[in-house]
Amino acid sequence: MKVLFLGDIVGRAGRNALQQNLKHIQKKHEIDFTIINGENAAGGFGITKEICADIYSYGADVITTGNHLWDQKEIADYIGSDNRLLKPYNFPEGTPGAGYNIYKTPKNENVLVINLIGNVFMKSDDNPFLKVEEILRKHSLSNELSFIFVDFHAEATSEKAAMGHHLDGRVTAVVGTHQHIPTADTRILLGGTAYQTDAGMCGDYNSIIGMNKEPILDRFLGIKSKVKFSPALGEATLCGVIVESDVKTGLAKKIEPIKFGGVLGTQ
Q: What is the pLDDT of residue 232?
A: 95
Q: What is the pLDDT of residue 257?
A: 98
- 180 is annotated as an active-site residue: no
Indicate whether 210 belongs to any domain.
Answer: no
What are phi and psi for residue 233, nearest 5 degrees? -115, 15
Q: What is the pLDDT of residue 252?
A: 98
Q: What is the bridge-based pairing of β-strands 147-153 and 110-117?
A: parallel
pLDDT digits (tens, 9 = 90+) for 62-118: 999 999 999 999 999 999 999 999 999 999 999 999 999 999 999 999 999 999 999
pLDDT digits (tens, 9 = 90+) for 87-100: 999 999 999 999 99
CA distance 99 to 83: 9
Per the CB < 8 A criterion, the answer to whether 232 and 212 are in contact is yes
How confident is residue 247, by pLDDT bands cut at 50, 70 and 90? Answer: confident
Out of 68, 153, 178, 180, pick the active-site residue: 68
Indicate whether 128 belongs to any domain.
Answer: yes
Q: What is the pLDDT of residue 143?
A: 85
pLDDT digits (tens, 9 = 90+) for 189-233: 999 999 999 999 999 999 999 999 999 999 999 998 888 899 999
CA atoms within 13 A on the CB side of 153: 32
Q: What is the pLDDT of residue 1?
A: 95
pLDDT digits (tens, 9 = 90+) for 160-198: 999 999 999 999 999 999 999 999 999 999 999 999 999
Give me the chain's average pLDDT, please: 96
Indicate whether 226 belongs to any domain.
Answer: no
CA distance 10 to 232: 8
Cα dihedral across residues 260, 169, 119, 159: positive or negative: negative
pLDDT digits (tens, 9 = 90+) for 8-51: 999 999 999 999 999 999 999 999 999 999 999 999 999 999 99
Q: What is the pLDDT of residue 209?
A: 96
Range(s) of the domain holding residue 18: 2-205+237-260
CA distance 206 to 24: 24
CB count in 10 Å sphere of residue 195: 27
Q: What is the CATH number of the domain that holds 255?
A: 3.60.21.10
The DSSP secondary structure of the chain, one letter per residue, reads -EEEEE-EEBHHHHHHHHHHHHHHHHHHTT-SEEEEE-TBTTTTS---HHHHHHHHHHT-SEEE--TTGGGSTTHHHHGGG-TTBB--TTSPTT-SSBSEEEEE-TTS-EEEEEEEE--TTS---S-HHHHHHHHHTT--SSSS--EEEEEEE-S-HHHHHHHHHHHTTTSSEEEEESS-S--S--EE-TTS-EEES---EEE-SSSBTTB-HHHHHHHHTT---SSPP-B--SPPEEEEEEEEE-TTTSSEEEEEEEEESTTT---
Indicate whether 78 belongs to any domain.
Answer: yes
Indicate whether 134 belongs to any domain.
Answer: yes
What is the amino acid identity at position 23?
A: K
Indicate whether 220 belongs to any domain.
Answer: no
Indicate whether 224 belongs to any domain.
Answer: no
pTM here is: 0.97
How confident is residue 149, by pLDDT bands cut at 50, 70 and 90? Answer: very high
Domains contained in the chain, number: 1
